[in-house]
């Protein structure tokens, strides 16, 4: 059956003022970036405890650095897809559209989304573990071995590793957005990684209409008012089409 949006969702889209898009790896799947879980998922092929934690990095920085260089190269060669661009368009129709993403791939920003909270960091950013000096958007592409700061400290990717806290400013901004939105869409995430997965819960508890867009059911599906069962690009394009029919751009 072709993907459809319900009457209830249409009526909410007509009246909403503040929308949050909470995204996970599935939104970038149509750009060709592998997700984490599932048959072809990264965590099926790689061991997170060897690559995505601080102790592993300090023990073998070259290995971890090389893996992140590899992922950076993949992400740089990929492009935002219809789902990312639909959100950028939707921004024009509402006073507040906020993206809360668990992705580190920078594709929302590259698609032109302007208000983004990155809960798990950004693979294009780095900082020194000793002095905190930032090396954002510095291209290290020819360097397969780990990099050092002028202070002699090791430069690490600005991504959240297992056992680490989320960046406080990003999480508190996301929480505030979830508490004050009228609608939240959860897109392409299994919704099992805490505390990020709290974001849709907070929105629902605060009274927002919540919808999940996913090709599969998830452990969080029961939370949502509505499920759009399909690909992110298709579902968000449909939503954008409807918004264009019933609302006027405000910017
Ligand atoms: P997962 O890999 O756990 O889940 C991806 C979700 O996207 C699954 O529910 C898929 O069914 C769905 N999906 C795949 N293709 C899709 C498509 N075209 N359209 C819609 N949905 C699609 O990724 P996340 O939930 O983002 O954390 O993972 C959360 C966190 O776990 C990541 O941020 C990462 C990882 O460990 C850190 O690195 C800290």
- The finding on whether 193 has its CB within 6 A of some atom of ligand 1 is yes
- Using CA positions, which residue lies closest to atom 36 of ligand 1? 36
What rounded mean pLDDT belongs to the chain? 93
- Quick: pLDDT tens for 212-236: 999 999 999 999 999 999 999 999 9
Alpha carbon of 190 to ligand 1 centroid (Å): 5
pTM: 0.95
Confidence (pLDDT) at 1: 72
Tell me, using a 6 A CB cutoff, whether residue 30 lines ligand 1: yes
| Pairwise pLDDT comparison (52 vs 92), residue with the higher score | 92
Does the structure show a pLDDT above 90 at 47?
Answer: no
What pLDDT, on the 0 to 100 scale, is given for residue 52? 86
Give tens-digit pLDDT for 153-170.
999 999 999 889 999 999
pLDDT attached to residue 141? 64
90 CA to centre of ligand 1 in angstroms: 22
Active site residues: 120
- Cα 102 to ligand 1 centroid, rounded to whole Å: 9
Distance CA 169, CA 176 (A): 11
């Amino acid at each position: 059956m072709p993907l459809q949006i319900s009457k209830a969702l249409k009526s909410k889209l007509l009246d909403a003022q503040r929308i949050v898009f909470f995204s996970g790896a599935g939104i970038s799947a149509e750009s060709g970036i592998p997700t984490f879980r599932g048959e072809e998922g990264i965590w099926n092929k790689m061991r997170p405890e060897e690559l995505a934690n601080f102790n592993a990095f300090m023990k073998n920085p070259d290995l971890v650095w090389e893996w992140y260089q590899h992922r950076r190269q993949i992400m740089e060669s990929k492009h935002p897809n219809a789902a990312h661009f639909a959100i950028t368009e939707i921004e024009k129709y509402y006073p507040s559209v906020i993206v809360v993403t668990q992705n580190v791939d920078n594709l929302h920003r590259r698609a032109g989304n302007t208000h983004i909270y990155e809960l798990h960091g950004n693979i294009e950013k780095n900082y020194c573990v000793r002095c905190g000096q930032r090396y954002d958007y510095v291209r290290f592409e020819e360097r397969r071995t780990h990099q050092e700061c002028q202070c002699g400290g090791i430069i690490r990717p600005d991504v959240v590793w297992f056992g680490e806290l989320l960046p406080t400013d990003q999480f508190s901004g996301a929480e505030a957005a979830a508490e004050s939105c009228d609608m939240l869409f959860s897109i392409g995430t299994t919704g099992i990684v805490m505390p990020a997965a709290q974001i849709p819960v907070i929105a629902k508890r605060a009274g927002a209409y919540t919808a999940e867009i996913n090709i599969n059911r998830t452990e969080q599906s029961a939370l949502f008012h509505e499920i759009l069962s399909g690909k992110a690009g298709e579902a968000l394009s449909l939503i954008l089409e409807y918004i264009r029919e019933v609302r006027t751009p405000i910017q």
